[in-house]
Structures are given as C-alpha cells and as structure tokens.
Chain A
C-alpha cells in the first residue's frame, strides 16, 4: 500500500503538471479557486488519515490503487442516450447524463421553463460568471477539515449547473444520471452547483451507475443554494459495482423559510463516503435528511453529516437506517451544531442498524454540540437484530422464517423510503430494496431501473 506521503506527493505533481489542462475551458471563478484549495489540501495533511471526521474509514487502500485521471472530456464512442435509459415507471423526468464526471455532450434538450438553466458547469462558468462568483465554492467551505473537498475544488472541471430563478417552479423532476465508463481504472472529479432563487421549487433525482467493470474512484461535490422560501427535494440512489468507490459531498445553504428534503439510498458500491453539510442561515428553515443503506460482501458505507443551526427557529430532522450482511462495515457520524444565537431550534437525529452476521460491523457516532439553551434536541442510535417478538408474530400467521426476515427488513427500510414524496419513485425504490434484500440485485452492475441494454 502506498504511503500517505506518496499519495499526497502524486496529487501535488498532478496538480502542477496538469494545471494548464485543468484551467482550459473553465471560467475564471473555477480556476481562481484552485490554488487556494490545493494549498488547503496540503495544509490539512492531504488525504484525511486518522482524523476525527474519518475515524472509522481508512482511505489509504482506496487511494493506493492505480487510476487514470483524465483532465479533458473524452467523447464516448457509443450513444449514451441509447445505451442507458433510466426510466422509472410512471415518472416523467428530465434526464441529463454525466460521463466520468463530465457533462455528456449529446444530452437531450430538457423540457423546462425557459427561465431555468440546466447546463454543464464549465459552460455556466463562462456564460454566467456573476452567478458563479456569488455561489461557487461558497458553501463547500463548510467542510473546514476535509482535504477531499478541497481536492475537489482544486481539480473540478465540470459537472451539472442548475439555476431556477426566483418564483419559478420546475414541475418535472430533474434526473441527473452519473455514469462511469472506462477501459482502465479511473479517478474522476465532478462538481455540481444548484441554485434556487426565492420561492423557487425543484426536485432532483441523482442516480449513480457504472457501465464498465473497471475500478473507479469518484470525488463528487454538489453545492446547493436555497433562497428564501425555496423548496427542494433531493433523491440519490447509489447503485454501482463493488469496485466503484465514491466520495460524495453535498453542501446545502438554506435561507429564510426554505425547505430541503433529501433521501439517500445506498444499494451497492465499493467504499462510499457521503458528506452532508447543511447550513441553516436564516430563521424558519427546515431540513430533513433521510438515508437507507443496505450492505453486504466487503462494502463500506460511511455517512457523515453536519447540520449547522446558525439562525434561530429552524427545524432539522435526520434519520439514517442500515442493514449489514457478510463482512460489510457501516459508519454513521452525525453532528447537530446549535450556535449561541440559534434559539428555538428543534433538531432530531436517529441512526438504527441491523447486523445480520458476526462479521459485519457498525460504528455510530451521533453528536450534539449545543450552545443555545432554548432548544429541543435529541438523538438516538441503536444496533441490534430483528425483533424476536415480531418475528414470532409473523410466523404464527403462517409466514416462514426466511419470508418473515425479509418482511421485517423491508419494513425496517420502508420506514425511510416512505418519506420519498414522488410516488412512482417511492414504489420503484421499494422494489429495488426488496430485490436488494433478496440478493437479486447483486448480479446486475447496471441500473436496475428498467434500463434497456
């Protein structure tokens, strides 16, 4: 295994030698952040190692593998729109694809209100420099101690840009389909920026998939700005093969009376780290983070969240649940931070885990850091097995042991999935979970959402 020093040195070389390529085609705002970001990466000691935020996740094996890093867009020789069609029954979406972190150049024109902008981030950085200057990298700075986010800012070249202006409602959900496809191992960076003006509304569904067998390591960072009274639903389904790992960071900046609701479903993948930072900047904000992870084999999922109550009268609610089989490892770390002036905060956090085998492991670390007194905050965490009494109840109705286990696990998961507001999506995810629990999903590396091969 490579040492931390070597990995960090490799990144330094790559940054120095690749600088011209990195800057090419990107607007001044993106390029203007690189130097400082890379300095921060170096100052933080590079790849996080034995840090409190990564205490249960060793990243060295992941970064020690050989990957290619491609600093320019490579055209795919196949039509991705044909190769990959992700359709949830009865759910009309506007799909846009990314390939290895880059905006797919043959994306179909989405049917959106004309004021709305959906395009590649690099394009936006040239076309809308003012918007980018106002938002780009403003929210990701919340990850003060995370070298990987700084690394993303240093290397980011493309991704998705979404702008929904004031008072505009984007009815049809935007579906971002992140695809990975390469002939050799690949490390990719992706950067997304989503801006919702005041009273704007949008739902975004993100699907992460792999289209080839190679090993991948994706560092994907998304920044979301919600103006006053803006509402956003955010769904992400992670379904990649076991050799595909991702560092997936989401930063949300909420303003007066805005509402952010997310549901993160991790079905398959190698090592997956999810960072979620939500800043409640103004009064009346609301945020709901839900998550469900189902792991087996040697999968590792590490969910990290930091909800920062800066302003008073905000509500946050977080609930993550997981089922661990085989020799999998699940980590949960969630921090509710209530700043001195954030009176009348209500914040809840829960993490429940089911362990199915003696080799599966769970580390959970729910945290409250509270510096205001007029608050209602609580958290809870459990690690256990299926409830015996409930199992007996099911069996006494004639349901066999295996089926009873399935039902109990499905029920455990559905508790989270029922929060998905788009009904067709909810039904589809329920199906996916059911298949996943029955072990029927593991054979398919591709999207199971009825994709045409």
Chain B
C-alpha cells in the first residue's frame, strides 16, 4: 500500500493532471442541442414519471427567460448551449451486478483510485460512481439497507423511492433559483440520493465519484441528501475529467435537508480538468449547493478543496432555520495558470441562537484569479445569531489576483458578526528560515501551504485529506522557485 502510494506520487509529479486519460467505452449519446424534445428524450430514456418530466419542462421554460449571471469576478466566454450533448451514457447491461460491469469501466475507476469491488474497497466507504450522465455502480448498498439507509443513484431513487424524491426535489434549490439551477433542473441526468432515517448514524462514509468522459458533453448531476431527526452522515464527493482542448460544462445541484439534531458533513475534492498551462480547455464548473438546517440544533458542515476547473462558480450555502442550528464552511481554493475561481458561501440566519463559522483559504498562482464571495445574513426576527468569518488569501507570483467580497447584512441587534480577511504572499523570512534549516524553497512553500490550509484539511475525512494534500502540491507545481 505504502509502495503503491509512493508510485502514485511519482506518477503524479511527472504529469500535470493525472486524471486526464480517456476511457474507451462505447457510449450512448443523443445529438447536440437543447429543446423540449431533448428534455422529453432524457426523461423517456430514464423512464421517468410524468411529474418529473413536468418539473424538467417548467425548469426549461423558466431557464429560457433568464440571463447568464455576470456579477461574479469571472471572465466567462459565451457558451453555446446548442453545441453541448445533454445525455451520454456508457453502454452497459441492465444488471448492476459487479460481474456485469464493463471491465473498461472497472479499470477506469481503479485507475482513479476508486475501487468498485466491495472486496477491494477501502474499509468503511460506500461509493456511487457516476460517469457522464449515469451511475455505473453503487457499492455497499445492501449493508446500508440493513440500517435503513438509502444510498443509490438518483435515477434509481426516482424508480424506487418516488415519494421521497418528489417531496424533497427542488425544496432547497428551486429551479427558479438561478440560471444554472434552472438549466440543471431541466436536463439533470443522474447523481446520488441519500436518505438517513430517524436516529440512524450512517455506519460508513458515503461517497460519490463523478467522472466526465465523453466528448462535447455537459455533466448535470443532482445530489439530494436527507437526514431525518438525530441522524448522522458524512458524505464525500470527488470529481475528475479527461484532458481535452475544448471546454466542457458542468452544472450541478446539491440539496441537503437536515432535520432536528441531525448532522451532515459534506466534503468535496473538486479536481475537474483545469485546462492546460496556456489556459486551453478545462471544465466550466457552475454549481449550486445548498442545505437547510430545518430542525432545532441541526448541523451542516461544508468542507471543500477546490483545485480543478477552468472556471469555478460555487457557493455552498446554509439556511439556518431551526433554532440553535449550526453550520460551518471550510474551503481551500487553489488557482494556477489561467484558472478562475469565484467561490464562497452564504449563511442565512433565521432561527434563534444559530451559529455559523466560515474559514476560507485562497491560494492564487500563475495568471489566475481567485475570489472569495460570501454572504452572512441575519434576518429581523433572528435573535442571538453568531458568525465568525476568516478569509485569507495567499499570492504566489505577481501576475495573479486575490479578491475578497464579503457581504454582511444584519437586521437584528442581538447578532454578533465578525469578518476578518488578510491578503499577503509567503513571507520571505519564513522561506529563508526553512532554507537555513536545509529545506529547499519548493519544499518550504509546500510546507507553508500545508500549514496554511491545515485548518481546512483537518476537517476532511482522513482518506480525503491525504488526497487533498497531494492535490494542493500538484496544482501549485512550478508556481514558485
């Protein structure tokens, strides 16, 4: 195992983006373009009930009336929505038995370090693997089912648990919410569904691995997590894509419902293909993630390490509705070369005695632009809300940018809200101190960044933290020295 990890590191430091390969698997796609016919086709392929098709069509019609948001500090080229394939599925047999999964697919996920065979799997992590528009395999489903936990692909949930899906779909992120949410609601293909019943602590980490493979396709997945009273789940999400010259669109939605005394921890390692050194290619990552702490003392924790994508537009948010509910947001966002990121969070305090904490660490290198954008809102009727935000930016190189845009909107006098931010580069004295102790500048920078991002990495589940740390190092390769 240790040997293997070393090999991986070796392999990784040699190449720039280790996940850039393409899987040769026969793919079933529909033609490019978007219209009501396409939406009906997607819905039909998935054999969806009428109400879901209605939902999609309503979303689509609303999307047509909307304009692409331009308020973020991002330079987004025009996107031709008719030049995108909205459905692509690796061809495989109906059966979801392990033996029946296409060996190419198995090999792909193995190569990504995501074993889909339960025997080989890392202990204690159940995985839903999604390639392009469909879920390939979900592991440990039976083990989880014994506890009443539902963990399956979204399409499967629509088939087997329609009432649950119908109850919660769009309840946290309505399709009218924003441009990309509307688009996703119209064309979403697959994703993961998690339901933790009352009083159940999910016995293992749940994880979804998203992979874009097919050319010219967009990925529009949708995740829905529901934690009933006193439930607990830790959920992880990882993403990669092949190295291609053209840009690909990814517009996802994550909805999380946390009931009374329940806790959900949602971790992301986002490593979509970021484009090459000249800024060619890469994923446009426009994501709407939102959770609601519905019940008293509900808790939602976001932890994210963002290293990939050419453009990131993403603000995982929490609506703190239940009295005494708590939310935390921890983020490390790294941009290098010509990457652009505009990311942060929103904490909406509605319930009394609600608390939130934001820790954001931005690292910019190369010619990249990295912005934190966050909102803390305390509504009029919310008493004794507390928020503390700390947003730091680190600049590596004089061609990149680091920006901080906090919005504090306070309507109740019992609120205590505090925001602090700093922007600086790595101190020369720090590097010299390391040099003097025999550590090379490159290693010193790695060390310092590790320390800088430590507050956030510590919040990730262990397996992911190791992965995330490696990612940080790789993403910043060649940016110093």
A residues neighboring B (CB under 8 Å): 52, 56, 340, 343, 353, 355-385
Contacts and interface: CB of A to CB of B under 8 A. Distances in A.
A360 B378 CA distance: 12
A71 B401 CA distance: 47
A373 B417 CA distance: 29
Nearest to B383: A358
A378 B422 contact: yes
B373 to A, nearest CB: 10
Given A356-B413, A375-B423, A375-B425, A381 B380 contact: no
B419 interface: yes
A381 B404 CA distance: 13
Contacts of B398: 340, 343, 372-374
Contact of A381 (B71, B395, B396, B419): B419
With a 10 A CB-CB cut-off, give which of B393, B395, B401, B408 has the most chain A CB atoms. B408
Contact of A376 (B411, B413, B416, B424): B424
A383 B395 contact: no
B397 A373 contact: yes
- Sorted nearest first, the 7 A-B pairs with minimum C-beta distance are A373-B395, A355-B413, A368-B404, A371-B401, A378-B422, A377-B423, A384-B416
Contact of B408 (A360, A362, A373): A362
A383 B416 contact: yes
A362 B413 CA distance: 9
Contacts of B413: 355-358, 360, 385
A373 B400 contact: yes
B414 interface: yes
Nearest to B372: A368
Interface in B64-94: 71, 73
A375 B412 CA distance: 36
Describe A's contact surface by its main secondary structure.
strand
B417 to A, nearest CB: 4
B406 interface: yes
A377 B408 contact: no
B405 A378 contact: no
B357 to A, nearest CB: 15
Contacts of B107: none
B323 to A, nearest CB: 17
16 contacts: A357-B413, A359-B380, A363-B408, A368-B423, A369-B73, A371-B400, A373-B398, A375-B425, A377-B423, A379-B421, A380-B418, A380-B419, A380-B420, A381-B408, A382-B416, A383-B416
A375 B393 CA distance: 11
Interface of B: 71, 73, 380, 393, 395-425
Contacts of B414: 358, 385
Nearest to A352: B418
Contacts of A374: 398, 425
Contacts of B419: 364, 366, 379-382
Contacts, number: 114
A370 B403 contact: yes
Given A361-B411, A363-B410, A383-B410, A377 B424 contact: yes
B371 to A, nearest CB: 8
A367 B344 CA distance: 14
Contacts of B396: 373
A408 B329 CA distance: 33
A368 B73 CA distance: 12
Nearest to A366: B406
A382 B402 CA distance: 22
A365 B408 CA distance: 6
Contact of B417 (A367, A368, A377, A383): A383
Contacts of A378: 420-423
Contacts of B395: 370, 372-373, 375
Contact of B410 (A357, A361, A376, A379): A361
B276 to A, nearest CB: 23
Contacts of A358: 380, 412-414
A291 B71 CA distance: 29
A385 B412 contact: no
Given A364-B408, A380-B420, A369 B401 contact: yes
Contacts of A377: 422-424
Given A363-B410, A380-B421, 4 more contacts: A353-B410, A375-B423, A377-B422, A384-B415
Nearest to A373: B395
A383 B405 CA distance: 17
Contacts of A369: 73, 401, 403
Contacts of B421: 366, 368, 378-380
A356 B420 CA distance: 23
Nearest to A343: B398
B406 to A, nearest CB: 6
Contacts of A353: 410
B423 A383 contact: no
B167 to A, nearest CB: 35
A367 B423 contact: no
A368 B420 CA distance: 11
Nearest to B375: A365
Given A373-B400, A378-B423, A365 B380 contact: no
Name, among A52, A368, A373, A379, the residue most crowded by chain B CB atoms within 10 Å (CB to CB): A373
